């Protein structure tokens, strides 16, 4: 079988090319609260102007800006609160109407003066000290946030808390979202035993099926854990047959050059097309990406950290595309290296790192958070990697990055 080992940048281009071909067909209408993390299949439109009336942003007094400048006291003629419409006549020069935050500003008023800035005596009002209010001050005009009918969230948007709020504000009790993609997980390896079994000294617990399932769930998709396949072409071929109803197949292990690595042969036997058979990355070099007649697949290297990294780099964005999300790639943040790090020419490296945030998060975004690499024993070392919250990206130019350099961190 011909090899095709690509750079990280080429791998991403190939992925992008394939992702653009994907469009999920099935949609569902779900109760709004069940749509967190789902992708909109239809846009959310403003069903009326937002705000629907000129909204006061302060507790205070609605009045006319030029009246305040005159310094003459204003006569308070009434009150309007949130949830009420002003029932009286339009406000006239010389008048003020007490108003609460969120209440509709009465016709005739052009500003709201804050409660804190006035003195009220015997239903008349004056400024505590001279200040020039502008017309429009402390008022959001009708439709200033969104005009009725405008698109607030386009189809292809993944719903977050703030977007669910926007949909709620427009009355979307049951938005239309895409079905979650179903992702099959097939771990391969003669050494693997289930979590329930007591491993013999030479056996290894199957942790990859669990890390992958967790990453799939975090990516907004549904994992299907298949029974572990043994290191034989026949066993892998028959196991792949059980994944046909899934939108994507993730295999772990068996993609290296070893004598008992049969995954590529099994895929080839089933008529797979291979887009790449390795990437110049570390960890994760043996990663394979391709297509079977009915679904895309990734052959992820079995070393647990390689599996984690290659999922985050390649499988997650493809799952985003299968979910209907527009440009849903992995998340990188910038951080400053706490110490010097040496790169390796020709390899893009993703090394377990701990990004330090204070309780206030990373407030000074320009400064960047700081990141320290975690000492580890290589891509089989789950115990050390478990204390990482990201992977530092070391470019493939082989340069040494001094302490304080800004680097990208792939967040996990």
Interface residues with ligand AMP (CB under 6 A) are 187, 189, 191-192, 204, 206-209, 252-254, 256, 258, 301-304, 380
Nearest residue to ligand AMP by CB is 302
Cβ 260 to ligand AMP, closest distance in Å?
A: 8
**How do strand 348-356 and strand 369-373 relate by DSSP bridges?**
antiparallel
Among Mg ion, ligand AMP, none, what does residue 24 contact (CB within 5–8 Å per kind)? none
Cβ 275 to Mg ion, closest distance in Å?
A: 22
Among Mg ion, ligand AMP, none, what does residue 211 contact (CB within 5–8 Å per kind)? none
Cβ 29 to Mg ion, closest distance in Å?
A: 44
Among Mg ion, ligand AMP, none, what does residue 252 contact (CB within 5–8 Å per kind)? ligand AMP
Whichever of 283 and 302 has its CB closer to Mg ion, that residue is 302
Among ligand AMP, Mg ion, none, what does residue 301 contact (CB within 5–8 Å per kind)? ligand AMP
Task: Find the DSSP H helices in 183-341.
Answer: 208-218, 233-241, 263-269, 304-310, 316-322
Q: Output phi, psi for 116, to 5 deg.
A: -65, -15
CB 208 within 8 A of CB 191: no
Binding to Mg ion (CB under 5 A) within 180-209 occurs at 189
Q: What is the C-alpha to C-alpha distance for residues 182 and 345, in angstroms, rounded to an integer?
A: 38
Whichever of 157 and 379 has its CB closer to ligand AMP, that residue is 379
**Per-residue b/e over 85-124, b at no fewer than 16 CB within 10 Å?**
ebeeeebeeebbbbbbeebbbbebbbbbbeeeebeeeeee
Q: Hey, is 27 helix, strand or coil?
A: strand
Among ligand AMP, Mg ion, none, what does residue 292 contact (CB within 5–8 Å per kind)? none
The stretch near Mg ion (CB under 5 A) out of 157-165, 302-310, 379-387, 402-410 is 302-310
> Using CB under 5 A, which of 253, 284, 304, 324 touches Mg ion?
253
Cβ burial, residue 165 (10 Å; 0-12/13-18/19+):
exposed
Among Mg ion, ligand AMP, none, what does residue 304 contact (CB within 5–8 Å per kind)? ligand AMP
SS3 annotation, 70-104? HCCCEEEEEEECCCCCCCCCCCCCCEEEEECCCCE
Whichever of 303 and 323 has its CB closer to ligand AMP, that residue is 303
Give the sheet arrangement for strand 111-114, strand by strand. 111-114, 60-63, 95-99, 74-80, 124-127, 118-121
Whichever of 97 and 388 has its CB closer to ligand AMP, that residue is 388
Positions that interact with Mg ion (CB under 5 A): 189, 253-254, 302
């Amino acid at each position: 079988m011909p090899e095709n080992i690509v750079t990280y940048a080429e791998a991403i281009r190939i992925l992008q090319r394939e992702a653009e071909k994907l469009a999920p067909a099935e949609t569902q209408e779900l109760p709004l609260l069940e749509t967190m993390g789902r992708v909109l299949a239809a846009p959310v439109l403003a069903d009326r102007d937002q705000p629907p009336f000129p909204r006061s942003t302060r507790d205070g007094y609605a009045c006319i800006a030029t009246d305040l400048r005159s310094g003459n006291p204003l006569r308070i003629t009434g009150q309007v609160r949130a949830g009420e419409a002003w029932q009286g006549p339009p406000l006239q020069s010389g008048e003020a109407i007490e108003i609460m935050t969120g209440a509709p500003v009465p016709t005739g008023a052009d500003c709201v003066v804050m409660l804190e800035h006035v003195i009220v005596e015997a239903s008349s009002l004056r400024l505590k000290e001279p200040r020039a209010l502008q017309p429009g001050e402390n008022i959001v005009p009708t439709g200033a946030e969104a005009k009725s009918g405008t698109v607030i969230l386009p189809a292809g948007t993944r719903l977050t808390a703030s977007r669910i709020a926007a949909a709620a504000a427009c009355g979307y009790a049951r938005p239309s979202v895409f079905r979650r993609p179903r992702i099959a997980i097939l771990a391969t390896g003669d050494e693997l035993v289930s979590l329930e079994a007591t491993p013999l000294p030479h056996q290894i617990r199957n942790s990859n099926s669990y890390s992958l399932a967790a990453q799939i769930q975090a990516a907004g998709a549904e994992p299907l854990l298949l029974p572990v396949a043994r290191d034989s072409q026949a066993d892998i071929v028959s196991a792949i047959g059980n994944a046909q109803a899934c939108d994507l197949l993730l295999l772990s292990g068996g993609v290296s050059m070893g004598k008992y690595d049969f995954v590529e042969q099994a895929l080839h036997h089933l008529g797979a097309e291979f887009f790449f058979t390795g990437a110049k990355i570390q960890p994760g070099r043996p990663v394979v990406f391709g297509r079977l007649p009915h679904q895309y697949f990734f052959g992820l290297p079995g070393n647990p950290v390689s599996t984690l990294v290659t999922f985050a780099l390649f499988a997650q964005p493809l799952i985003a595309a299968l979910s209907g999300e527009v440009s849903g790639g992995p998340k990188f943040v910038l951080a400053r290296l706490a110490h010097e790090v040496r790169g390796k020419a020709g390899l893009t490296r993703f090394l377990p790192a701990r990004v330090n945030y204070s309780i206030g998060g990373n407030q000074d975004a320009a400064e960047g958070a700081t990141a320290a690499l975690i000492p580890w024993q290589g891509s089989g070392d789950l115990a050390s990697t478990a204390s990482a919250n990201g992977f530092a990206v070391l470019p493939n130019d082989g340069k040494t990055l001094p302490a304080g350099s800004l680097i990208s961190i792939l967040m996990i």
